[in-house]
Amino acid sequence: RKKLLIDTDPGIDDAMAILAAFNSSEVEVVGLTTVFGNVYTQTATQNAFKILQLAEATQVPVAEGSHVTLKGAPKTWVADFVHGADGFGNMNFESVEGFRWRGTAAEFIVQKVRENPGEVSILALGPLTNIALAMQLDSSIAESAAEIVVLGGAFFVNGNVNPAAEANMYGDPDAADFVFGQSGNIKVVGLDVTHSCQFTGSELSNLRGRGRFGTFLSGITAFYLKYHQDAYDMDSVYVHDPSALAAVLQPSLFTWRSGQVRVLTESVATGMTVMDVGLKRWNNPHGWTDRPKVQVAVAVNAAETTSMLLER
């Protein structure tokens, strides 16, 4: 059983992923760490408690993460147009408190990985600020985690914030570029594959009445579906974060390509992910210097992935 630490900005698809993790016998959720992204960090923490209450897993600690980017910039916007101002489709649930870990998210990540060397899978579902901070606290974290699976990036397709950038990369490009420069078992699941993983409007409404998780998700996804209808003219939603969970549960559902990845930290294309697909040797003075390789998902068995996720 993999020990799973989830760094998250819940967020509708984050909630889907976390609840699906609780229905997955392959993993044991050992903690949630929160970050800004879909919502501000404090709201992310409240939403994490709400999810744990629903999952009857209030023994799982939540460590609140950074409120500012790696460079120290305060957050000035959130994705309320996708997830609602409350992150849960403007359902405005009553806030609940739970087991709040006394320390930062980065400290929590370091402690969990040190306690269980080689055993913790980190699933990063938001901007990579906390993960980068943990690696800066302890440079051995990247190598002593069993794996770090990141939902983020748009490698050979357009982004979703703008043509260049996917939201989690755009949220803290410096953190992302730092994380992808560390050696370790790092896997990246981006829009290249998550755009193939969708739940239809009727699949979402059919969740109603299918247990506590189903009813909760069918409620909060109404807003998320509306966004997809308006923005993309589709009658389904992307299941980004759950797809990254699927990569933890069953990596063979994906085709992986190994290469160096950089994230643009300045310019009109801030947050853009660029992968070296390794077809050439950069035998010239302008090639990028060596960086460790990460695994990027370039194809997915979408039918099996989505049916597994929907079931869970």
Residues within the interface to ligand BDR (CB under 6 A):
11, 13-14, 37-38, 79, 82, 125-126, 151, 160, 166-168, 240-241
Binding partner of 79, given Ca ion, ligand BDR, none, CB within 5-8 angstroms per partner class: ligand BDR
Beta bridge partners of 6: 32, 123
Nearer to ligand BDR, 107 or 174 (CB): 174
Nearest of 63, 48, 32, 89 to residue 228 by alpha carbon: 89
Is the Cβ of residue 232 or residue 282 nearer to ligand BDR in the bound state?
232
User: Which of residues 7, 14, 107, 172 is near Ca ion by CB under 5 A?
Assistant: 14
Minimum gap (Å) between residue 312 Cβ and Ca ion: 17
- The 10 Å CB-count burial string (b at 16+, else e) for 274-289 is ebbeeeeeeeeeeeee
Whether 276 is catalytic is no
Task: Tell me whether residue 292 is exposed, middle or buried, using C-beta atoms within 10 angstroms of its C-beta: 0 to 12, 13 to 18, 19 or more.
Answer: middle
How far, rounded to the nearest angstrom, does the alpha carbon of residue 182 sit from its chain's CA centroid? Answer: 18
Residue 107 or 242 with smaller CB distance to ligand BDR: 242
Give the number of other CB atoms < 10 A from CB of residue 131: 32
Residue 182 touches which member of ligand BDR, Ca ion, none, C-beta under 5-8 Å by kind: none
List the single partner that 132 binds among Ca ion, ligand BDR, none, CB under 5 to 8 Å by kind.
none
Q: Is 286 a catalytic residue?
A: no
51 binds Ca ion (CB under 5 A): no
Query: Residue 11 interacts with Ca ion (CB under 5 A)?
Result: yes
| Start-end of H helices in the chain | 12-22, 41-54, 80-83, 105-115, 129-137, 141-144, 167-171, 173-179, 191-194, 201-206, 211-232, 240-249, 302-311
Q: Give the SS3 label for residue 2.
A: strand
> Closest CB to Ca ion among 3 and 83?
83
* Interaction mask 190-229, Ca ion, x per CB under 5 A: ----------------------------------------
Give the separation between CA 246 and CA 300, rounded to whole angstroms. Answer: 10
Which residues does the annotation mark as catalytic?
A: 9, 240
Residues near Ca ion (CB under 5 A) are 9, 11, 14, 125-126, 241
